Amino acid sequence: MAILNDNPLDNPITAKISIIGAGNVGSMAALNLLVQGMGHITLVDVLQGLAQGKACDLEDACGVLGIENRVQGTGDINKIGSSDVIVITAGVARKPGMSREDLLNINSRIIFELSSKIKELAPGAIVIVVTNPLDVMTYLALKTTAFNTRRVFGMGLTLDAARFRGQISKELHLHNKEVEATVIGSHGEGMMPLPRLTVTRGAPLDRMADANKVAELVKRTKERGAEIVNHLGSGSAYFAPALAISELVKAIVTDSKALMGVSAYVSGMYGINEVCIGVPCIIGKRGIEKMVEFELNEAEKTALQQSAESLRKMYKLLPVF
């Protein structure tokens, strides 16, 4: 692949993107990336024939759209070798009534094994973790690979901010582009939407809606993932997560320096140390180019620190440590 200075991703057409997990999220992300021409896609899944079948279908989709076919499906993890970007969606999905913490025991073993293979086969890759509980799985992947902290992060807040934006635009009858939603903290019900720092038509959300309405919007955003799981009965959201993945990968391979919320390794910000938690970051060719620190009030800062401490307690439950 073409290299300019220390950047392996100057030509996005030649970037190698591996997606581990060919379920709904992984395969939909692959489709989005193919349509956008973001690089060569390798879809990997341990379930016999799943990735191969999805790849065949994606090949046909390329034919429908008249775009270049750059996808392969495999059950062989060794095919991720020399990847530039690796997305991990593999793992057990949430079921109705199941919390993200309930997933920890099963998914932590999957992430540990995959991260060990990534360390061996693709030591130069940027890794995006999607598997839940996301912040804990991101920490596990980071510690297992021992990669630079800027090259391993979780997708979470990209999706959470989109959900907050959607709830606001629907309630206030605004176009999505008129809302700049700000969310920090852990992914899922522990997220922290920040109305004070969320802008709607140039004004903070807490000035555009009364306190009760704002509280309701925050509540609906936090419960959105569980709502989708309960409606589906089996499985969880995949359209929006797949698009969120695509936006992160696009920011990397095009070096767009986009401001996006991700689960990043925080050490020093907000009085938090050695925890992977959602914060806004500049995403570019090296992964996390810079973490952006907001001026939180005392209540917001305390809540974030409590969220970080909850995650730290979950680290101690990881069966591989």
Among 92, 121, 156, where does a domain finish?
A: 156
Q: Of 118, 138, 156, which residue is a domain's last?
A: 156
Tell me: do 25 and 111 sit in the same domain: yes
d(CA 128, CA 316): 22
- In the chain, how many domains are there? 2
Query: Can you give the pLDDT at residue 160?
Result: 94
How many Cβ atoms are within 10 Å of 301's Cβ, its own excluded?
Answer: 15
d(CA 184, CA 163): 13
244 assigned to some structural domain: yes
DSSP helix/strand/coil, 45: coil
pLDDT confidence of 40, banded at 50, 70, 90? Answer: very high
- Looking at residue 320, its pLDDT comes to 63
Q: Does residue 69 form part of some domain?
A: yes
d(CA 240, CA 48): 26
Token reading at 166? 């959607």
Statement: residue 1 has pLDDT above 60: no
Answer whether 25's CB lies under 8 Å from 9's CB. no
* φ, ψ for residue 66, nearest 5 deg: 70, 35
* 32 and 139 part of one domain: yes
One-letter amino acid of 14: T
**What's the rounded mean pLDDT across residues 104-128?**
95
Parent domain of 61 = 12-156
Are residue 182 and residue 63 in the same domain, yes or no?
no
Could you report the per-residue pLDDT of 71-81, keeping only the tens digit for each? 999 999 999 99
Determine what percent of the chain is predicted with pLDDT higher than 70: 93
Q: How many CB atoms lie within 10 A of CB 317?
A: 12
User: DSSP code of 23?
Assistant: S
Query: Which of 2-16, 95-109, 259-273 has the highest mean predicted lDDT (pLDDT)?
Result: 259-273
Task: Give the number of C-alpha atoms closer than 13 A to the C-alpha of residue 192, restricted to the C-beta side.
Answer: 24
How much is the average pLDDT of 254-276? 95
Q: In terms of domains, do 75 and 120 share one?
A: yes
Is the residue at 321 inside a domain? no
Cross-strand bridge partners of residue 78: none
Q: What does the pLDDT read at residue 2?
A: 37
CA distances from 19 to 25, 46, 118, 130, 208 (A): 10, 12, 12, 10, 41
Separation CA 180–CA 215 (nearest Å): 17
- Asked if residue 258 is part of any domain, the answer here is yes
Pair of tokens at residue 226: 């569980």
- Residue 92 sits in a domain whose CATH number is 3.40.50.720
Asked whether the beta carbons of 19 and 114 are under 8 A apart, the reply is no
Q: Report the pLDDT value the prediction gives residue 102, as an integer from 0 to 100.
A: 72
Number of Cβ within a 10 Å radius of residue 106: 12
Element (H, E) at 154: strand 152-154
| Of the residues 102, 121, 156, the one at which a domain ends | 156
Average pLDDT, the chain: 91
Active-site residue numbers?
Answer: 187
Residue 103 has pLDDT above 80, yes or no: no
Domain shared by 224 and 275, yes or no? yes
Question: Does residue 29 share a domain with residue 136?
Answer: yes
